[in-house]
Structure formats: structure tokens, C-alpha cells
């Protein structure tokens, strides 16, 4: 059901990056597609199912990437797509959601407020609410990345996964724990948006009052209990990284692999930078999950 443009994405060793990090590094590249993130895998599943059910509209809250992907998949299938996002989301993400023909509603608050508003719209209009990480299609979409990693067969020791709502981590993690159980599944979140990581460590939902990170794609405050339950089953670890490490990670990816990535996609490299001993000599895969970034901000970060 997933358009092939989102599948069988490149995975390759980056020797130069590995030398800088003291380990073998492979990237699984999820940015070389029409929406520049892995989210199309899940929205293809959701919209395919909606079409089969004869539904004509769908709404989601989004930090920016899910909204683009849902707009892309919905346009392809003639669905009315509404996306609710924060006014503070990167302009690049908001512009592309609009350009894909979705109705974009902005809330003067953070992602959690966008979630509330999306619930209300779904209720008022009687349309399907797509909830990232909670709705199984979003996890199943991400899980296809896990299938592709398992298929490669090249031995890797650990997979570093950006942790936001949790769909990517639970989807990929579930597959890996089944097919490649020896590989460590390590979730990485910014220290400035630590709710789900703290929840994982405390084995109960922990919320935060605010978030403070440039990694806009993973800045949630209210972990979803069901997602935490799944994450406790499939993640081997969840770590927090500093903003300076995220920026250093973006810079290393640019200088050593030529990839322009959004902050969330540099979390894996940031995790290696903060704990080199843990990864020394091992083969790590980092999922480069998104490349939607405002270029002005990007240049400020990587050149500073």
C-alpha cells in the first residue's frame, strides 16, 4: 500500500563520519523522498485504509513532518487533509504543508496544544483523527524501516533512533527485537524535551511543563501511555543529549556525509558524541529521519 518512493531507502557506511566518531557508522537515509522524512511510510498506510473505508477526510496534529506526509498521501488519494501545527513550527515545514494542498490551522502554542485542537476538529467534523505514535499505522509505517534494516543482513550492533512521540522507535524497535535481537535499540531525545525518555526510565508517564530544544520534530511534553508501554518492551536504552551535541551532529553530517538534516535527524550522532566509549569500535546505524529545516537557522547552527 506504500508508494515505493518511500521504501528501500539508502543505507550505507560513512567512513569519514565513522573516523570522526571512533566507530563504524551507517546511515539509513529517510530524507530522499518527496516529503523529506520517514513519515510517508505511515501516512501511505493510513490514507490507503481510509480510502478503502470510503472516508474522505482526515485531520492530524503535526510538528511539521507528519502533516507534509499526510498532505502528500491524501492529495494522491483525493482526501481532504487538515493539519494543525504550532505557529512556531519551522516556516519550511508549514509552507510545504500548504503547498501540498492541505488545510493548515495554526495554534498559538506548542505541539501539545495542536494535538488538543486536532481532537476538537475531528470531533466537530466527524472525521478521522490521525494520532501519531498512537495509531498503529504510524508505527507500522516506521516498522518498514526495521524490516529494511533487518534485510540488509550486514551485522550492526546498535541502532540509534530519534525519540519524539515514539512511532519511529516502537515501529523500528519492534521489528529489530524480533528479527535482529542482538542489535541494541537506543532511543535518543534532546535533554530539552525529555518527557518520554524520563518516562521510559521511571516506567511511568512523566510529563514536562515546557520544552526547550531546536529539535522541533521531537518536542512533546505528554507521552502517550500506550506508546510508553510498547517502548518499554522494545527499547534497550533511552538517552538524552545536549543541544550543543545536536548542532555538532548536524555539522558532522554535513561535513562528512554531505547531508543537510533537521536537528532531530542528528540525535543519533549526538548520542555517539556524548558517549564515545560506549560505541567505540562498534557498528552503529543512525536513522536520518528528516531533512526539513529552515536554511537560515541551519546555517546559523552549523556555522557558529
- At 85, list the grid cell: 501545527
Return the H-helix or E-strand segment holding 187: strand 184-190
Q: Tell me how far the alpha carbon of residue 174 is from its chain's centroid.
A: 16
d(CA 248, CA 85): 28
Cβ atoms 286, 268 nearer than 8 A: yes
Q: For residues 101 and 109, which CB has a smaller minimum distance to a copy of itself in the complex?
A: 101
d(CA 211, CA 165): 14
Size of the site for a copy of itself (CB under 8 A): 29
Backbone conformation region of residue 258, classed left if phi is above 0, alpha if psi is from -120 to 50, else beta? left
SS3 79: coil
By CB under 8 A, tell whether 18 contacts a copy of itself.
no
Q: For residues 99 and 155, which CB has a smaller minimum distance to a copy of itself in the complex?
A: 99
Nearest distance from C-beta of residue 271 to a copy of itself, angstroms: 22
d(CA 64, CA 84): 9
SS3 216: helix
Instruction: Out of 119, 254, 283, 297, name the contact with a copy of itself by CB under 8 A.
Output: 254
Instruction: Out of 8, 212, 226, 233, name the contact with a copy of itself by CB under 8 A.
Output: 8
Nearest distance from C-beta of residue 270 to a copy of itself, angstroms: 20
By CB under 8 A, tell whether 29 contacts a copy of itself.
yes
CA dist 3 → 35, 39, 42, 44, 233 (Å) = 12, 12, 11, 7, 30
Classify each residue of 147-170 as buried b or exposed e, where b means 16 or more C-beta atoms within 10 Å of its C-beta.
Answer: bbbeeeeeebebbbbbbbbbbbbb
By CB under 8 A, tell whether 5 contacts a copy of itself.
yes
Query: According to CB under 8 A, which residues from 92 to 111 bind a copy of itself?
Result: 96, 99-100
Nearest distance from C-beta of residue 77 to a copy of itself, angstroms: 16
CA atoms within 13 A on the CB side of 116: 10
Q: For residues 231 and 252, which CB has a smaller minimum distance to a copy of itself in the complex?
A: 252
Query: According to CB under 8 A, which residues from 279 to 298 bind a copy of itself?
Result: 291-293, 295
By CB under 8 A, tell whether 245 contacts a copy of itself.
no
Instruction: Out of 1, 16, 49, 87, name the contact with a copy of itself by CB under 8 A.
Output: 16
Nearest distance from C-beta of residue 25 to a copy of itself, angstroms: 11
Nearest distance from C-beta of residue 204 to a copy of itself, angstroms: 39
189 bridge partner residues: 240
Q: For residues 185 and 265, which CB has a smaller minimum distance to a copy of itself in the complex?
A: 265
Q: For residues 212 and 296, which CB has a smaller minimum distance to a copy of itself in the complex?
A: 296
Query: According to CB under 8 A, which residues from 146 to 205 bind a copy of itself?
Result: none
Q: For residues 127 and 285, which CB has a smaller minimum distance to a copy of itself in the complex?
A: 285
Which residues of the shown chain bind a copy of itself in the complex (CB under 8 A)? 5, 8-16, 19, 29, 31-34, 36, 96, 99-100, 254-255, 258-260, 291-293, 295
Amino acid at each position: 500500500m506504500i508508494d515505493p518512493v518511500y521504501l528501500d531507502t539508502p543505507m550505507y557506511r560513512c567512513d569519514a563520519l565513522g573516523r570522526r566518531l571512533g566507530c563504524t557508522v551507517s546511515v539509513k537515509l529517510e530524507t530522499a523522498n518527496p516529503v523529506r522524512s520517514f513519515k510517508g511510510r505511515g501516512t501511505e498506510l493510513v490514507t490507503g485504509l481510509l480510502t478503502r473505508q470510503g472516508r474522505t477526510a482526515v485531520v492530524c496534529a503535526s510538528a511539521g513532518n507528519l502533516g507534509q506526509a499526510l498532505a502528500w498521501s491524501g492529495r494522491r488519494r483525493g482526501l481532504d487533509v487538515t493539519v494543525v501545527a504550532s505557529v512556531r513550527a519551522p516556516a519550511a515545514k508549514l509552507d510545504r504543508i500548504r503547498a501540498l494542498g492541505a488545510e493548515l490551522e495554526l495554534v498559538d502554542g506548542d505541539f501539545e496544544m495542536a494535538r488538543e485542537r486536532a481532537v476538537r476538529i475531528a470531533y466537530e467534523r466527524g472525521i478521522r483523527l490521525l494520532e501519531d505514535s498512537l495509531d498503529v499505522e504510524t508505527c507500522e509505517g516506521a516498522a518498514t524501516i526495521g524490516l529494511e534494516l533487518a534485510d540488509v543482513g550486514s551485522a550492526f550492533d546498535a541502532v540509534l533512533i530519534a525519540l519524539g512521540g515514539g512511532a519511529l522507535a516502537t515501529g523500528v524497535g519492534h521489528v529489530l527485537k524480533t528479527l535482529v535481537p542482538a542489535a541494541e535499540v537506543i532511543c535518543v531525545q534532546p535533554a530539552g524535551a525529555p518527557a518520554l525518555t524520563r518516562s521510559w526510565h521511571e516506567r511511568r508517564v512523566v510529563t514536562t511543563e515546557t520544552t526547550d530544544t531546536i529539535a522541533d520534530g521531537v518536542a512533546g511534553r505528554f507521552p502517550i501511555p500506550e506508546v510508553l508501554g510498547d517502548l518499554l518492551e522494545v527499547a534497550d536504552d533511552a538517552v538524552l543529549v545536549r543541544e550543543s551535541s545536536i548542532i555538532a551532529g548536524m555539522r558532522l553530517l554535513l561535513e562528512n556525509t554531505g547531508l543537510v538534516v533537521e536537528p532531530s535527524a542528528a540525535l543519533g550522532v549526538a548520542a555517539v558524541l556524548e558517549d564515545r566509549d560506549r560505541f567505540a569500535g562498534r557498528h552503529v546505524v543512525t536513522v536520518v529521519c528528516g531533512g526539513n529545516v529552515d536554511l537560515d537557522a541551519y546555517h546559523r547552527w552549523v556555522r557558529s
